[in-house]
A and B are shown apart, each in its own frame.
Chain A
């Protein structure tokens, strides 16, 4: 059963702490993405990766970091430098980066800063 999994579903963080969100896919996709979703703002791109050991900043990368050591995994770290981290985080993957390559989304992680 192919798909994208994200964990945890809910995450609570104290101010000043770093947290890491997990994203795994078994679709054999090369490209992976992280988005942030806030009410009334749609999805905004944080980071994307075309291939293992390579990733690029998206529109709102400040305060976030990623790694891509394996094709199937693309974890996102929300650092203490992120001013307003409370949001719904979505991971996606696609075959490649071409406009014709459909992006498939995971179920999301809701992060709340206490």
Chain B
């Protein structure tokens, strides 16, 4: 079983839809949770960063962490064609140990006009 599981999709939605992307994990030591966006043939760029449980909002994006269920989500409101990309969740244990990132497989999202 992989430490981080992410549905690879692909996910196709119409413009304006609310998108929900999810990851589950098995390592209870994970404290830092990230979402990266990767456009085709480009490097990933950090989209959202969350520490521990709770919600974080940034414009049309909301990240949720539920440590009790070992489940994280990224919501995209009013999705746009420019949101079409692969979304990668990543997490680390942090603290005094090396903050090694463990990535999910990535979800391919297409927003069509």
Contacts and interface: CB of A to CB of B under 8 A. Distances in A.
Chain B interface helix/strand/loop/mixed? loop
Contact of B94 (A6, A45, A98, A103): A98
Contact of B99 (A40, A42, A90, A99): A99
A71 interface: no
A103 B101 contact: yes
Given A40-B105, A42-B103, A42-B106, A99 B42 contact: no
Contacts, number: 61
Contacts of B106: 40, 42
Given A41-B105, A97-B98, A99-B92, A110 B43 contact: no
Nearest to B93: A99
Interface residues of A, number: 26
Interface size class of B (residues with CB under 8 A): 20 to 34
A108 B32 contact: no
Given A90-B43, A107-B43, A110-B41, A100 B105 contact: no
B49 A43 contact: no
Contact of A107 (B42, B95, B100): B42
Interface string A10-50: 00000000000000000000000000000011111100100
A4 B44 CA distance: 12
Contact of B32 (A4, A42, A100): A100
Q: Which 6 A-B pairs have the closest CB atoms?
A: A99-B94, A99-B99, A105-B43, A42-B103, A43-B103, A99-B32
Interface of A: 4, 6, 40-45, 48, 58, 90, 92, 94, 97-108, 110
Interface of B: 4, 6, 8, 31-32, 34, 36, 41-46, 49, 51, 88, 90, 92-95, 97-101, 103-106
